[in-house]
Structure 1
């Protein structure tokens, strides 16, 4: 054929072939040079190992004992989902909009590139889904993969595209189309710190991706082009227009009928937003407190594994199974919120027109906010960094009104006030802590650390230590019972001093009447606790408190018998659980069940450990003593008999109230749950002024009742009203030691002195 062509044409054809071969050879050599990063001109690429084991930053999830995700630790909030758990509406919208030839190409789609150029992006993107996955997974455009030519305009873009093409082809060889689609949907960004289709679905529509409608799927797929620009929360109109374009594409490619589109296109976007920051976790205080413990556990796991790919709490996608029951947690949060709002209304009315920070005499503490509180705030520290020791400028900054969003029980509200006034505003709030533990397993089932985690980060379960008041008395009585006394031994309510310390009872004096030890603890008689302290000494009582579960340091001071030593709710609940658990103490309440990797492999299991603290007989007798609060005439917890939780049920409890009503406690025990509640001001000088409002039976006990009523009523939990476990053949009021080793059955310590004012109740 070529022989028939004139000589000049032969030469032209040879040149065309020569040019084509040279171009193809050059292109092939260029691809090899990029692939092998010749002379480091082009920068590196993902290794074969990375392609075989692609990783992206996955949030580590906190999963409750009943299988509910309570929250997560993350840098990028991403929660993976299987392809079969994603609505077909999402798949169809994505293919129609981003890569209609997805099932046909091998990673690169020349027709798609041409269509994108011709349609200016409206008919589908030039990059395939596989190429976009490369960007998401391997950060191909980051500094990590930049070579010497990486700063040259146009050349830089060509090199990046070449790397993405090569990597896309490699991914297509290693994974099925279904796997690539799943990886893409689990890695794509959706703005608002939502990464992956599941997180986005939960954030914008409060539903799982399997439940997404056509319209909702179109909204999310539309965001893939530009997440912030088409964010339906920030730009609803732009998002709606983009949604309709996605649905038009679905009509064009047969995924949606024209009539269906007509029915959808005018509808507004129906958002059901769910916050994705750490403040939105269920059990947020628990999750925050657990962070340090988990970091230590993961550090230990990494030492044991000695892996090149260390675990990270924020990016490894760990599954952390905890003991919290999501249903109990919800009931605890609801009960605490309902109760503390009632307390806040009473507190506001009680202090109307006055500041609630007062001294021991009830006089307002002058300069309390300015001198004690303000210098401890972040705002003050920031101003001090800016102005040094220039107090005038610092205080000017604190007294300059600014726009701010503040917490209220009616929802967040925007206002203008000075930073100093905002401090005063927040110091008027009452606070609450609640923890619930299964005494039979040592597992923590509910944890409420405060009233609002976003605005009040301080945890009142484990971080806070406050005086327990009379809720410490059971440790005093446990000492006596274990030393041979019985709940029915008679004692006299007489004024008692130890040295110069002469406390009085709540009613202001001593009745002189005889009563049983059970009646004494039921009525929370101070003089009896003081007599027992005098009998056994502070050292012995401290030993028993520590043995039962109190880990806070307790000073060798006789006043501890009335609860003057600071403790936290975490250890108090655990110590009371020892009574219910037959004298076997949990070394620490269990909070973590196991840690799994992202694939479900168990990395570590956790088991609660115990030690013997009391004999079963002593423990049972203490439970019997605690029941006196609801059963004995004048018992401090008698009102529980009128609550649903107290009907046909065995309940024990102990109230606690501290001097000037700074702290109100209630520790409630049943065979299935031991729960403690603390209520008080942020500072000890902020409190009610009367026992009618400030005692533990008023400040804390009602929250316990509200919680237990809800838990018993929730049949899905299955908590039963069952009697306490009693040792066989134990007779509560018999002296197990035969003859008395610690004096007569009636303890009488005469004293002529009058009790001092302002003692703990």
Structure 2
């Protein structure tokens, strides 16, 4: 400072040779400096006194709380995803590697261990070089502690005084932080609260996001990348600007060498390395089970409203760092998602080849008129032609394709056409013995298609997958499994001449046992079994098994005309696997706070009720195993090589709109649906559109993958209990036999098939 003053005095003397003038100028400068100092001092006192808002005291700083994301875990302790406003997760001091601290100090605050929160030497350097000497390369004067103060207590607007007031406030808070925390604790707080790129907050989240690694495992070059992006989180985002990020990383490494943290040869080695990102996009939508996490989010928000923290305030799902442990099995979930994507990618190619493009355009126009943009333009008085012109104007957007996301120019109308044509899928798996949900795949990609096809409010026609529930009701009402039922076509006069039909013409001339009728999914047999059972009796039994959707009391119930959710169907089939005991599905195990204190537990919720006899469920499982061995689900074995104990049922609705496959194993029940969101779009060919071709392959892919995982052997290799000798005797009959007697077979062989005309008996 004396040298600077001497330089200024010499410049002033050069302005005039007369001492009087010089003295007057000097006094004026002193008065000006004193005035400025007085104003600054007054401003400091006002800020310190709280005139511009209270400044946190020692107690406030000692109890710093910052928003923490709540985390969702699988039953096997795998992180599925987070709920957050700002994606943030804390680390502890032992987790911080030295190279990370060194990179931070070398780049952001080289004198960190020498100052007490405010570095006056650096501050004066900035004031003199930047303001007086106009040297823009002189660097900044804020310490890490001041930056932490700014992060913890964001700046406020005070009009023209905003900058000085906020700076003074940060000086005061920084000094107080240094009195409350050690230097390493300040670094820890800083790294836990600082924002990184891609809306990530905190070093733990950043390390996981950009390198898929734990903080303590960060290498020197990785630490340099993360520290480097702090200068400008967007500009140095390694995902968006890898070359710029690499250059910045090397600057950080050079700074580490400059201050002696690494040797010159180490610096060259690290600078020569590639960026080597291992990006992990675990967000609200990305990661495992995004549809499931979106489904439970509303329930968790309600839970937070109803439960209080020790201070009396309600929990906040986005800021309180709750740990939510679910019943999802991450292994099965991953295999289900992989199997779904593999099948749907192939299936979509086949679907688009036979897609009715004119119908697609009509559907798109219909949906376009329902959009808020259309309604707004219509209210503004635009004509239909003008509205369509606006909504057909292309804009740059990112769209989903099975070959990867694409950046394209596309209009609102074309975007609708693009997305409407995609087939969707819903997959759910449940442990029938406990009611715990193990798999939840609500659609093909949650980023672009957020409609969940598993949840109970999403209902689709179930087709033949309803038949096993009707057959179970029939057994409970005393219908014998070996009562042969004619498949002859029948027209019911009291049902406006309704005549159910079968897919195979030759079936009409045969009689079927229950096993044969179910294995071949013979519609006319199912209708007659419903007639024997009684519609009301069947509906009561199906409701007891967990179906809450509307079930019309009409004979077509036997053909699976009701619309039911995947969740309900899995619940009902689980009754068959659980020896007739109904269990309501559950998916939340435990909720804890940050310290691990249990706030909610599901241990007391599992209460079941018997709705079917053990004998009925054993006979039904035996019949459904025949469906997989030699019936409509046989592809599971002869095409996909599945040898596990599996019972199952396919389902295909009219015009191939919906394809289903329900699989039952001793310790796992899987339900799968496939179809377009708009039922006007469907496969033209039953060969391509039936459940055995659309939904069954997803289950097959899941089981193939799970069978390779030895840790899942207890689930995959579980076996059904063999039928007792008594039940074997009750079911000891051929699946089918001819509908004709000896003379009919000889003399009426070529006679045209007759249709029986009768009334449907409701039972």
Mark the runs of 5 or more structure 1 residues left unpaired by the alignment.
1-20, 144-149, 358-364, 736-745, 757-761
1:91 aligned onto 2:104: no
Query: Which residue of structure 2 aligns with residue 326 of structure 1?
Result: 330
Deviation at 1:514, TM superposition (A): 2.8
Taking the aligned partners of 2:303 and 2:659, their CA distance within structure 1 comes to 35
Deviation at 1:683, TM superposition (A): 1.0
1:292 aligned onto 2:298: yes
**Aligned runs of 1:265-664 on 2, under 5 Å?**
265-275=271-281, 277-302=283-308, 305=309, 307-351=311-355, 354-355=356-357, 357=359, 367-370=362-365, 372-377=366-371, 379-381=373-375, 383-384=377-378, 387-388=380-381, 390-462=383-455, 463-498=457-492, 499-500=494-495, 501-508=498-505, 510-587=507-584, 589-606=585-602, 607-631=605-629, 633=630, 635-642=631-638, 646-647=642-643, 649-664=644-659
Say which SS state the counterpart of residue 542 (structure 2) adopts: helix
Contact preservation (8 Å) 2:510, 2:739: no
1:68 aligned onto 2:78: yes
1:710 aligned onto 2:720: no
Over residues 223-250 of structure 1, what are the superposed CA-to-partner deviations in whole Å (9 max), with x where a residue is unaligned?
2233233333344444333323322221
Contact preservation (8 Å) 2:306, 2:314: no
Mark the runs of 5 or more structure 2 residues left unpaired by the alignment.
1-33, 131-135, 732-737, 741-752, 759-763
Taking the aligned partners of 1:292 and 1:61, their CA distance within structure 2 comes to 15
Aligned counterpart for 1:134 among listed residues 145, 149, 165:
149
* Number of residue-to-residue matches in the alignment: 696
Q: Report the CA distance shift for 1:556/1:509 in structure 2 as closer, same or farther (over 3 A).
A: farther
Taking the aligned partners of 1:22 and 1:422, their CA distance within structure 2 comes to 65
Say which SS state the counterpart of residue 712 (structure 2) adopts: coil
Contact preservation (8 Å) 1:656, 1:666: yes
Over residues 469-500 of structure 1, what are the superposed CA-to-partner deviations in whole Å (9 max), with x where a residue is unaligned?
00011111111111223433433323344433
Contact preservation (8 Å) 2:628, 2:649: no
Over residues 450-474 of structure 1, what are the superposed CA-to-partner deviations in whole Å (9 max), with x where a residue is unaligned?
1122221111111421000000111
Contact preservation (8 Å) 1:531, 1:747: no
For structure 1, which segment, 490-499 or 677-686, has the greater mean C-alpha deviation from structure 2 after superposition? 490-499
Q: Report the CA distance shift for 1:408/1:728 in structure 2 as closer, same or farther (over 3 A).
A: same
1:674 aligned onto 2:669: yes
Contact preservation (8 Å) 1:65, 1:321: yes
Say which SS state the counterpart of residue 710 (structure 2) adopts: coil
Contact preservation (8 Å) 1:491, 1:747: no
Taking the aligned partners of 1:609 and 1:382, their CA distance within structure 2 comes to 51
Deviation at 1:614, TM superposition (A): 1.6
Q: Report the CA distance shift for 1:242/1:346 in structure 2 as closer, same or farther (over 3 A).
A: closer
Deviation at 1:267, TM superposition (A): 4.5
1:724 aligned onto 2:724: no
Taking the aligned partners of 2:91 and 2:382, their CA distance within structure 1 comes to 55
Query: Which residue of structure 1 aligns with residue 680 of structure 2?
Result: 685
Contact preservation (8 Å) 1:278, 1:284: yes
Say which SS state the counterpart of residue 530 (structure 1) adopts: helix
Say which SS state the counterpart of residue 279 (structure 1) adopts: coil
1:193 aligned onto 2:199: yes
Contact preservation (8 Å) 1:99, 1:112: no
Say which SS state the counterpart of residue 285 (structure 2) adopts: helix
Query: Which residue of structure 2 aligns with residue 44 of structure 1?
Result: 54
CA RMSD of aligned residues (A): 3.2
Query: Which residue of structure 2 aligns with residue 151 of structure 1?
Result: 159
Taking the aligned partners of 2:471 and 2:439, their CA distance within structure 1 comes to 28
Over residues 12-36 of structure 1, what are the superposed CA-to-partner deviations in whole Å (9 max), with x where a residue is unaligned?
xxxxxxxxx9999999997665344
Q: Report the CA distance shift for 1:487/1:536 in structure 2 as closer, same or farther (over 3 A).
A: closer
Q: Report the CA distance shift for 1:131/1:384 in structure 2 as closer, same or farther (over 3 A).
A: farther
Contact preservation (8 Å) 1:194, 1:276: no
Deviation at 1:710, TM superposition (A): 0.6
Deviation at 1:687, TM superposition (A): 0.8
Q: Report the CA distance shift for 1:276/1:722 in structure 2 as closer, same or farther (over 3 A).
A: closer
Q: Report the CA distance shift for 1:226/1:415 in structure 2 as closer, same or farther (over 3 A).
A: closer
Say which SS state the counterpart of residue 447 (structure 1) adopts: strand
Q: Report the CA distance shift for 1:173/1:612 in structure 2 as closer, same or farther (over 3 A).
A: farther
Deviation at 1:190, TM superposition (A): 1.0
